[in-house]
Structure 1
């Protein structure tokens, strides 16, 4: 009898529901560091989304890092380029979403990119995005690329990814957990 009970417990732990994805709330602020010279890259590729689906309208959330975004915008050393928040299913396998901002012109946006998130001991993040400039006809004439990854992101902690002239402030937390108090001011001064 004991063996049957243990076997049923083992089967319940190994069922697909035990490996289900978790809902995370993801918020990001993309900033340009004005004191660092801009580094232009090759034009953003035609497949900039890298096969990722765009964030669905029903997954978009209200940002909560408004105070941090306002402080960054008030500082002449930074220009806030993008501030977005959404929910995303995340599991052990990488979950990738595409995001964009601005008017689309021939398949490109002023800001476009993708963000991969995976769940393990820590949260893994890989960001790949472009800030594009267009000519009068709508063709991309210049792109700045931001590509960074971090596999040690902690739940609900503010994370700063430095890409030189572009930087990303991220907060990733499980849905249902509190947004926490304001982050350490020393982190925002870096």
Structure 2
């Protein structure tokens, strides 16, 4: 009898779909500097800042949906928008590490560079690490600002990750989930 229970449980596990199978999501992020906060310098980004993370290809980029938020931030002198990107990627139970950069590369470093590690679960785990670099005339990094933030974020909502002078707004939206059904029309007697 015990063997029958074990076999039936094993059959259920094998036949059942994965709880959080890889699905297609749009990830949109806005990196901002909070101008009212004092700039805190950090060590320069390490040479292996991307640590083998997958680079975003132009074929994965998608039109951003949060332009109204960026417009509001740009209109407010308390904020400077440093980066606004949107892309599509598969997310699942296995973490996915993406390398993001902006600006001209100088000796393996970019003016803006970082990694974003995402893992899908009940919430999406976000591990963000970004550097804003300043270069001298020879292309050497002379100063850096660093954002390092981890968080459990809700999908389909704009999430705010505060890190002092730098902050990250991120929205992760399922592209395969069914939209909520419309309310039934009012029934009159």
Q: Show the counterpart of 1:128.
A: 129
Number of equivalenced pairs: 175
Q: How far apart in 1 are the matches of 2:114 and 2:56?
A: 11
Q: Show the counterpart of 1:155.
A: 155
Q: How far apart in 1 are the matches of 2:26 and 2:119?
A: 13
Kept in 1: contact 2:115–2:130 (CA 8 A): yes
Secondary structure of the residue that 2:16 maps to in structure 1?
A: helix
Change (3 A) 1:10 1:37: closer
Kept in 2: contact 1:25–1:88 (CA 8 A): yes
- Structure of greater Rg: 2
Post-superposition offset of 1:160: 0.3
Kept in 1: contact 2:62–2:88 (CA 8 A): yes
Kept in 1: contact 2:132–2:145 (CA 8 A): yes
Change (3 A) 1:72 1:78: same
Q: Show the counterpart of 2:67.
A: 66
Kept in 2: contact 1:93–1:118 (CA 8 A): yes
Structure 2 regions of 5+ residues with no counterpart? 181-189
Task: Compute the TM-score of the two structures, normalised by the length of structure 1.
Answer: 0.84
CA RMSD, Structure 1 to Structure 2 (Å): 2.3
- Moved beyond 4 Å, runs of 4+: 3-10, 177-180
Kept in 2: contact 1:118–1:124 (CA 8 A): yes
Kept in 2: contact 1:37–1:165 (CA 8 A): yes
Kept in 2: contact 1:156–1:179 (CA 8 A): no
